[in-house]
Structure 1
Amino acid sequence: MRDFQFPGRSPVRATEAMVATSHPLASAAALAVLREGGHAMDAAVCAAAVLAVVEPQSTGIGGDCFCLYVPRGEGEVIAFNGSGRAPAAAEAEWYRERGFTAIPTYSAHAVTIPGAIDAWCRLLADHGRLPPDRILAPAIAYAEKGYVVHDRVAADWHEAAARLARDEAAARIFLPAGTAPVAGTVHRQPELAATLRLIAAEGRRGFYEGRVAEDLVGRLRQAGGLHTLEDFAAAAGDYVRPVTTRYRDVDVWQMPPSNQGLTALIMLNILGGFDLGGLDPLGAERLHLEVEAGRLAYAIRNALIADPDHAAVPVAALLSAARADALRATIDRERAMTDLPPVPMEPSDTVYLSVVDRDRNAVSFINSTYHSFGSGLVGASSGVVLQNRGAGFRLDPGHPNRIAPRKRPLHTIMPGMAMRGGRVIAPFGVMGGDYQPFGQVHVLTNVVDYGMDPQAAIDLARVFYEDGAVVAERGVPAAAVEGLKARGHAVAPAHEPLGGGQMILVDWDKGTLTGGSDPRKDGAALGF
């Protein structure tokens, strides 16, 4: 139990249904869907659509999504890959012949075909109960009539203002007074409202064909992209087989490659050989083990994870007990490793949400345009912000993540699902680009090893390893920082909060749901 004399908030507790998102307007809209008898998938897509309007720096219909879903909370874990592919003309040689050594982050070349709308439509058709126009109605209303800019959104928006100013449509829509809106400002996106209304009426065709597709392809071609109307028309997500490992008595499920979810499972396999529960949750030894496990797992990720339709990824071998034992043996509990290659890390702005309905259908859902406002390119008539997920491709001839026609890049956004005895105990996720596997492991082990409730697990201060140093949030105790330094780590202060997350804990015996939402964002968990 938390100390009520200190700032903070309790977890949200309910019996019937619950939603946890990074924005209160999205949580409220999704809860209304659940109260109407909507399915957890209806509520998830409703929330994602609202977030695409009210958190424009983090997500949008010009991005991608992934979903893990457990019908009635037990049995099979269903996984949907709603990530986009490179254009059919995107040959690595084309870029190298023109002097590219990497895919420019904020360019048309970094734009993969958005997968979110295809995924939303498919998931609603296959699992939802309510019609699409009802699901998208709150998002349409906020885009058309206006929404109040919240505090974390405003801070992120301000950081991206210079990039938005470089695109005429982006500047017009997102810098309406020549600058980023401040918290408390009412903002409108009428072009996006019209696009959402078209999708509500026509489904995926309203986005991938006709005037919206023509607007987006025209903008991309104008900016030098290789995209075509045929690329948009061919966009389609896939049901895929999720990957899993057991941590203590919990089965943890993730998206398979090309998603980086495997990275979290490798970390958990390594940490499973240590008695974390006997260590101080914010002590130097626990954080050191977390960092070292992360460094090993991320090195594997960067070398091997890619689109399995284009490269062989040895999933079973990477998740084997023998591989975990070998990796764990390289960790010195008292000294940082010095022989690992540097692993460049990228932040991103993403939204993650959890939903559990009265039938215990459980959805873990994530949606993103990657970097803040994605590529910075916006469709002038559609109001769609285009993602820059293709910046994750490589141009190295021998690398498994090399760009190729209709190929998916290594993808960072990852929903998680935890189960025990064949039943869901928590849909959960932590956003934040490359931080996500690290963040998921930190939050999940807070629950499993330390018995924290979802809110306490999410609240707890975080560290990460990037650019050759451990970066520590201000909540990490000074003694832990000194302990990390004594083990040979360079330690630097985190310049911004590390990620943001949501979790809903399902207690089958008590018949209750307990939710938490990250204070590093503007969000809320709500239930009834």
Structure 2
Amino acid sequence: MTSLSGLVILMTATAMLGFQHGDRPAPNSGGTRSPVLAMNGMVATSQPLASAAALRVLEDGGNAVDAAITAAAVLNVVEPVMTGIGGDMFALIYMQQDKKPVGLNGSGWAGSKATVDFFRSRSLNDIPGTGMYSVSVPGAVAGWSKLHQKYGKLPISRLLAPAIEYAEKGFPVSEIIAGQWQGTEEKLRQTPDAARVLLINGRAPRHGEIFKMPELARSLRAIAEQGRDAFYKGEIARKIVEFSNKNGGMLTLSDFAEFDAQWVEPVSTNYRGYDVYELGPQTQGMTVLQMLNILEGYDLKSLGHNSPEYVHLMVEAKKLAYTDRDAYIADPDKARVPVSRLISKEYAAERRKLIDRDRAMPSARPGLPENGDTVYLTVVDKDRNAVSFINSLFGYFGSGLVAGDTGIVLQNRGALFRLEARHPNVIAPRKRPFHTLIPALVLKDGKPFFSFGVMGGDMQPQGHVQALVNMIDFGMDVQQAGESPRFRHAGGSVLLESAFDGSVRSALGGKGHHIASAIDAWGGYQGIVIDPRSGVLMGGSDPRKDGLAIGW
């Protein structure tokens, strides 16, 4: 492998001291950068080192799937707060050989010992957000393998080589990740392995400091040499299960050996002439489609972008869709989810009637009878194969646990299960939990047009809808659509970025919304558009993260 150590990336700064709207000599004078344009391939990730490594794969003859796997692996090393091979992944793929979007569910299941009684017998009413009780079988490696077996061109050893190099030789810690890492110091100090692997003398690495992960490098090398079996049937599985047993967990060797990722059929709706594809349950992808169906009944452009009236309608649509999400979404192999009804235009029309354009609804109820944090990346190659890919540990450093000397941080996705016996998302052996992870893919006239995602847990559907409406209704380019000021409804409040002025806040308050401000609540966007006329690739990357879109 050619060393990446000498690679220099020249990029426009994502933020400038004193930068004001109108200072930039471009049509989008208030933006931080232009879209990146290319013809032969494009990568957009939340870390420049990952984008560069993936671009090298494209230059070496790899396709979009190869490059996506490389980017995901590098992100597992250089952005360990958010992601890792101890987590899960999902992808939406459009390959020219298929001529249609295909979904991949690379999320792990609960251990064989995971039952409601297991938790009740320990006097628990909820599943803890950290520790071994929150850990499910990691699905990411199985997902990578499934993708590579069906579509990959280059050997997996080539694809994982950049990640192994960064883990062994070290990488400079980027600014935003350094801040997030510092905020998790206390969490990591709770267990000896996490403190040893992820801290330097009890502290987080600082911005610009070189950090090495030799134990993770060994695990990645084993996967590169032996494939997925190294993780699910070999030494890595044995060590994770031993660690689980030692710490009171629910995982068994057979839970690993018998697990695999699944090819799934995406769900979709048409929004103003664009076919929007998301992954169905157990992800929250259909929530995006519900919101779009509700909003399609309004002339949003006439309201003005980010006006009080516009934000109000977006928030009210979110309330209705999220209420259904929380009531119904679960593992479709274990529970019945009425997807077709929930994403129908007729159902959206019924729900739309509940919205008062002048007053915020205090709460929303599910519309049907009750039944018994993250990295995102996208790649498009010279053949216009497109991959929309998301990989995550869920919380910052997941469960807060590192499995012995594997260097692998274990996710805490199991914390999203419920303990109410009649809830569709109730915990059960070998059941997949509700998932916040959602990649997105948009087709125009049957061809891939926009591959994108917005990482950020509960923010993801709201971020997807805002980016889509920015582009489709307001005509923004791929960069503007992602960096435009965002808002978020969470915990009964409407959170607004600082770019919203006082008049918007006051008007929303007058409609009955509780207004609040927040930092680091907006997710992280990456997107690639394929111009339907010229075929030019246009990439955008969120200035709220350390990321980079790059092409050739």
Same fold (TM over 0.5): yes
Match of 2:229 among 205, 217, 223: 205
CA contact (8 A) 1:74 1:423 kept: no
Match of 2:24 in 1: 4
- In 2, the alpha carbon distance for the partners of 1:146 and 1:338 equals 50
Matched residue of 1:102: which SS?
coil
Report the alpha carbon displacement of residue 396 of structure 1 after superposing the two structures with TM.
Answer: 0.3
CA contact (8 A) 1:430 1:436 kept: yes
Match of 1:345 in 2: none
How many residues are matched?
A: 522
Match of 2:14 in 1: none
Report the alpha carbon displacement of residue 443 of structure 1 after superposing the two structures with TM.
Answer: 0.6
Deviation track 1:103-152 (CA, whole Å, cap 9, x = no partner) reads 11102111110000011011111101000000000000000000000001
Q: CA RMSD in A?
A: 1.4
- In 2, the alpha carbon distance for the partners of 1:70 and 1:188 equals 35
Match of 1:64 among 88, 93, 109: 88
Match of 1:26 among 50, 72, 88: 50
Mark the CA change 1:180 to 1:73 in structure 2 (over 3 Å): closer, same or farther. farther
Determine if the alignment matches structure 1 residue 113 to structure 2 residue 137: yes
4+ residue runs over 6 A deviation: none
Report the alpha carbon displacement of residue 220 of structure 1 after superposing the two structures with TM.
Answer: 1.6
Alignment of 1:295-444 (within 5 A): 295-340=319-364, 349-444=373-468
Deviation track 1:76-117 (CA, whole Å, cap 9, x = no partner) reads 111010000001121112211221101111021111100000
CA contact (8 A) 2:185 2:202 kept: no
- In 1, the alpha carbon distance for the partners of 2:520 and 2:144 equals 31
Determine if the alignment matches structure 1 residue 87 to structure 2 residue 72: no
Determine if the alignment matches structure 1 residue 76 to structure 2 residue 100: yes
Q: TM-score, normalised to structure 2's length?
A: 0.93
Code of the residue aligned with 1:49 in structure 2: it is A
Stretches of structure 1 lacking an aligned partner (at least 5 in a row): 343-348
Match of 2:5 in 1: none
Match of 1:104 among 114, 124, 128: 128
Determine if the alignment matches structure 1 residue 216 to structure 2 residue 276: no
CA contact (8 A) 1:506 1:512 kept: yes
Match of 1:451 among 457, 475, 479: 475
Report the alpha carbon displacement of residue 216 of structure 1 after superposing the two structures with TM.
Answer: 1.1
Deviation track 1:332-362 (CA, whole Å, cap 9, x = no partner) reads 11110124269xxxxxx21001100000000
CA contact (8 A) 1:473 1:497 kept: no
CA contact (8 A) 1:23 1:523 kept: yes
Deviation track 1:140-198 (CA, whole Å, cap 9, x = no partner) reads 00000000000010011011110000011110111122101110000000000010000
- In 2, the alpha carbon distance for the partners of 1:367 and 1:237 equals 13
Determine if the alignment matches structure 1 residue 260 to structure 2 residue 284: yes
Report the alpha carbon displacement of residue 496 of structure 1 after superposing the two structures with TM.
Answer: 2.1
CA contact (8 A) 1:74 1:424 kept: no
- In 1, the alpha carbon distance for the partners of 2:539 and 2:97 equals 16
Determine if the alignment matches structure 1 residue 276 to structure 2 residue 296: no
Code of the residue aligned with 1:157 in structure 2: it is W
- In 2, the alpha carbon distance for the partners of 1:202 and 1:88 equals 26
Stretches of structure 2 lacking an aligned partner (at least 5 in a row): 1-20, 367-372
Matched residue of 1:90: which SS?
coil
Match of 1:235 among 247, 259, 264: 259
- In 2, the alpha carbon distance for the partners of 1:60 and 1:31 equals 21
Determine if the alignment matches structure 1 residue 516 to structure 2 residue 540: yes
Report the alpha carbon displacement of residue 7 of structure 1 after superposing the two structures with TM.
Answer: 6.3
- Report sequence identity in percent: 49
Mark the CA change 1:482 to 1:176 in structure 2 (over 3 Å): closer, same or farther. same
Match of 2:153 in 1: 129
CA contact (8 A) 1:195 1:212 kept: yes
Deviation track 1:452-489 (CA, whole Å, cap 9, x = no partner) reads 01111111111111111111111222221112111110
- In 1, the alpha carbon distance for the partners of 2:105 and 2:95 equals 17
Report the alpha carbon displacement of residue 65 of structure 1 after superposing the two structures with TM.
Answer: 0.3
Match of 1:157 in 2: 181
Match of 2:250 in 1: 226
CA contact (8 A) 2:171 2:211 kept: yes
Report the alpha carbon displacement of residue 215 of structure 1 after superposing the two structures with TM.
Answer: 1.6
Mark the CA change 1:209 to 1:320 in structure 2 (over 3 Å): closer, same or farther. same
Report the alpha carbon displacement of residue 377 of structure 1 after superposing the two structures with TM.
Answer: 0.7
Report the alpha carbon displacement of residue 3 of structure 1 after superposing the two structures with TM.
Answer: 5.6
